[in-house]
Structure 1
Amino acid sequence: MARKPRALSGEALKEKIGRDSLERYTNSPVSDFQPFILLTNFSSYMSLFSEKSGRQIRRGSLMEACHWPEERISILNFGVGSPLAALVIDLLAFVDPVAILMLGQCGGLRTKHRIGDYFNPVAAIRDEGTSNHYMPPGVPALASFTVQKVVATEVERVNLYYHTGVCHTTNYRMWEFDEKFRETLKSEKVSAIEMECATLFSAGFSRNLNVGALLLISDLPHMRRGIKTKQSSKMVFRKFSGSHLELGINVLMRIREMERGLVKKQW
Structure 2
Amino acid sequence: MRSVGSFPVLDHDDDPDDLISAAQRETSRVRLPERAVLTLLGDVATRYAEEHGYEVVDEVETIIRRHPVRVGTHRGVEVAFVEIPLGGPAATILFEHVLRGGVRSAVAVGSCGGLVHLEEGAFVLPTRALRAEGTSYHYLPPGEWVETSPRLRDACADAVEAAGLTHHEALTWTTDAFYRETRETLAARLAQGCEVVEMECASLAACAQFRGVEFAQILYTADTLAGEGWDARGFGRDAREVALTLALDAVVG
- Structure 1-normalised TM-score? 0.77
Contact between 1:169 and 1:197, CA under 8 Å: does it hold in 2? yes
Of 139, 162, 179, which aligns to 1:157?
Answer: 162
Name the amino acid aligned to 1:53. Answer: H
Aligned equivalent of 1:38: 37
2:141 is the alignment partner of 1:136:
yes
Alignment of 1:37-56 (within 5 A): 37-56=36-55
| Shift in Å, 1:15 | 3.6
Taking the aligned partners of 1:241 and 1:83, their CA distance within structure 2 comes to 23
Structure 2 unaligned blocks of 5 or more: 1-16
Asked whether 1:61 is paired with 2:68, we answer no
Distance 1:34 1:12 in 2: 25
Q: How far 1:67 sits from its partner (Å)?
A: 1.3
Change in CA separation of 1:47 and 1:224 when aligned onto 2, cut-off 3 Å? farther
Paired letter, 2:125: N
Q: 1:181 to 1:55 in 2, by over 3 A?
A: same
Q: Determine whether 1:196 maps to 2:200.
A: yes
Higher alpha-carbon Rg: 1
User: Deviation at 1:74?
Assistant: 1.3
- Please state how far the C-alpha of 1:86 moved relative to its aligned partner: 2.4
Cα pair 1:19 1:91 within 8 Å, conserved? no
Partner Cα distance (2:18, 2:185) in 1: 42
Q: Which moved more, 1:85-94 or 1:116-125?
A: 85-94
User: Which string of whole-angstrom CA distances, capped at 9 and with x for unpartnered residues, describes residues 103-150 of structure 1?
Assistant: 011012222x10111001111000002111111112731101111011
Secondary structure of 1:135's counterpart equals: coil
CA RMSD after TM alignment: 2.4
Unaligned runs of 5+ in 1: 1-9, 24-28, 255-267
Are 1:206 and 2:210 an aligned pair? yes
Looking at structure 1, the residues matched to 93 and 68 of structure 2 have their Cα atoms a distance apart, in angstroms, of: 14
Question: Whole-Å Cα distance in 1 between the matches of residues 210 and 42 of structure 2?
Answer: 28
> What is the CA–CA distance in structure 1 between the aligned matches of 2:88 and 2:212, rounded to whole Å?
19
Residue 111 of structure 2 corresponds to: 105
2:170 is the alignment partner of 1:171: no
Measure the CA separation in 2 of the matches of 1:55 and 1:85: 20
Alignment-mate amino acid for residue 54 of structure 2? R
C-alpha spacing 1:186/1:246, structure 2 compared with 1 (3 Å)? same
Q: Distance in 1 between matches of 2:122 and 2:86?
A: 21
Paired residue for 1:73, among 79, 83, 98?
79
More strand by share: 2
- Aligned residues with identical type, % of pairs: 20
- 1:250 matched to which residue of 2? 249
- 2:121 is aligned to 116
Measured in 2, the distance between the counterparts of 1:65 and 1:39 equals 10
What amino acid does structure 1 have at the position aligned with 2:121? G
In the alignment of these two chains, the number of paired residues is 230
Q: Tell me by how many angstroms 1:247 deviates.
A: 1.0
Give the structure 2 partner of residue 127 of structure 1.
132
- Change in 2 beyond 3 A, CA 1:89/1:19: farther
Q: Is the 8 A contact 2:116 2:225 kept in 1?
A: no
More deviation in 191-200 or 93-102? Answer: 93-102
SS of corresponding position for 1:68: strand
More helix by share: 1
Give distance in 2, aligned partners of 1:13 and 1:220: 39
Change (3 A) 1:211 1:19: farther
The TM-score normalised by the length of structure 2 is: 0.81
2:212 maps to a residue whose letter is N
Deviation at 1:60, TM superposition (A): 4.6
Q: What residue is the counterpart of 1:5 in the other structure?
A: none
